[in-house]
Every structure is written in structure tokens, then in C-alpha cells.
Structure 1
């Protein structure tokens, strides 16, 4: 089941942008800290959202992006799955 609506449109807008390939990007939105890993095309694929602790780790929730493309590269599915707590 897609959890995209649980992330909110503003966060989805941040995650729909392209970033540097194969990097971990840290940012914040309102009172939340976000960290996400990008794939080799700069698309966010793994998200940690919550609050940073003293060591810089985000305590909160973890999401994984599911992208499904056809043989010619057309995007068929794009959604975020909630994977549980991020500690």
C-alpha cells in the first residue's frame, strides 16, 4: 500500500527533484529532519524522516521508493512504502 499521501505534498515535491547521483542528502522541512539516499540517476530512493539525535542519526520513520519502468524506460509506478521505524 502506498504511503505517499502520508508524506504530504510538500515533502513529495522535495523528493521528486533530482539530486547528485549516489549521495546522501540531508535537509529539513518545518520541524522535521530529512535524509535521503539517491540512486545512480539522482532520484531519491530511501528516506529517513524525523528528528536528529546528538550523533546526527534521524529517529523517526523510514520509507523506500518503488520505481517500476517498462522495457523502454517509461515510468509505470512510483510510490513510497513505509518500512517502519528509523532508529
Structure 2
């Protein structure tokens, strides 16, 4: 599975720092974990069961910043099925 452009727009927003954010995107349930700055760094996408546990795919984000805090590299890596 690939992360589409529409979902990437949601993932480029800032959220509440150090939280697990869950939302519905189209026909998929999405959960994302944010870092201390509020950037999504971990993504689970698929179908949630009655306990809220998502069965689907996992992605992790690599954010590389320079000394001034400017993002040099921003890439999502596919980590497999969950």
C-alpha cells in the first residue's frame, strides 16, 4: 500500500504533541503517533476492530532537520502488516 497525496496533506499538519491521533480517512481507519513537536511520525492504516486496534499497514516517518531546524528530508517508510 502507498500513502496517497490526499492522506499526505493530512499528515503534513501539526497535531497535539506526543499523542496518538485517530481519525477516519475514506474507508480506512487511521491512527498516527506524534513527536514532541506535533509531527506525525508513526502511521497505522487499515480497519479498526471493536477495541480500536487497527489491522492493516504500518508506516514510519523519517524527518531529517539541519542545525537551523529546517526539514532536509521527509520520507515515509513502509514497515509491513500489523
TM-score w.r.t. the length of structure 1 is 0.90
Give matches, 1:28-67, under 5 Å: 28-67=24-63
Determine whether 1:25 maps to 2:2: no
Which structure shows the bigger proportion of residues in helix conformation? 1
Instruction: Find the partner of 1:80 among 51, 54, 76.
Output: 76
Q: Which runs of 5+ in 2 are unaligned?
A: none
User: RMSD of the TM alignment (CA)?
Assistant: 1.1
Using CA pairs below 8 Å that are at least 6 residues apart, which structure has the higher relative contact order?
1
TM-score w.r.t. the length of structure 2 is 0.95
Q: How many residues align?
A: 82
Runs of 4+ in structure 1 deviating by more than 2 angstroms, as ranges, are: none
